[in-house]
Amino acid sequence: MIRGRRTIGLACRRPDGAIYRYRETLRSPLQRSRIARAPFVRGVIVLWESLDYGLRMLMRSADVQLEGEVDHLGKRGNTVVLGVAVVAALGLFIGVPYLATALVRPLFGSSIALNVVEGLIRLVLLIAYLAAISFLPDVRRVFAYHGAEHMTIHAFEHGDPLTPERIEPYPTAHPRCGTAFLLFVVFVSIVLFALLPRVNPIVDIAVRLLLVVPVASISYEILRFGAAHERSPLMRLLVAPGLLLQRVTTRRPDARMIEVAVASLEEALAGDREAEAA
């Protein structure tokens, strides 16, 4: 799945080996509202839309693979699944680190030190989770397609022909990847949460949950700024951890995977052209 300016492009292999293509016009407040496009607002919208479209395209691709044997969840079903996934993620990456540090609170002289340790636990959990699932064969295949998407986008941005031979030399990491965004979220949360006083578990966790939105907003702006100035030595240093983490979340694809990524990009570009001509 590749997102264009106005279109989502999807491609996947059918059971018979042919490539299934699909594109869908984006219906985003980012296209209609200046407020939605405002800094520190747009990041939250992009994040939610990425989750929503990602889940729907995943279900569509599963339907293609199983030749219609999967029932679509519908918009309400997608919202429920997204909600459950978000709650589980918040429980793992917000609740668990906080509770772990609460158990050793007497060993620390200040809440700042305790909160920094909490952030480091969150970082370790993220890396460990990604590393653990990368050993699953199906996930490794997904990570290879992830790498194919990045390589294809690199080739497109450099004006190269979208053929496997010209795409293969490019790296699987990309500075605007969602993996880098997650890493920025963790780093920004360490800085912001470090200054929070510890009152009691209910208040502390509630405050952290409320701060998830501004943390995501700030992280998106950092990622966006870094990608726009990727030639700057300072920005290269800033995005380096995200690129490093993509060694876990991407794999080198084969030529057939690259063909699927190209088909997805072509659908997104074709949809953008149609929308601009309309």
Residues of the chain with confidence (pLDDT) below 70 = 68-79, 81-82
Question: What's residue 160's pLDDT?
Answer: 96
Token couple for 229: 């100035």
Q: Are 24 and 4 in contact (CB under 8 A)?
A: no
Looking at residue 75, its pLDDT comes to 57
pLDDT, position 220:
87
Whether the model clears a pTM of 0.75, i.e. scores above it, the answer is yes
Q: Dump pLDDT digits (tens) for 11-33.
A: 999 988 999 999 999 888 888 88
- Give residue-wise pLDDT tens across range 191-248: 999 989 998 999 999 999 999 888 989 988 888 887 777 778 887 888 888 889 999 9
Predicted pLDDT at 73? 56
Distance CA 177, CA 231 (A): 17
Domain boundaries, given as residue ranges, for the chain = 73-133+173-249
Q: Exposed, middle or buried, 246 (CB in 10 Å: 0-12/13-18/19+)? A: buried
At 159 the pLDDT is 95
* Whether the Cβ atoms of residue 272 and residue 4 lie closer than 8 Å to each other: yes
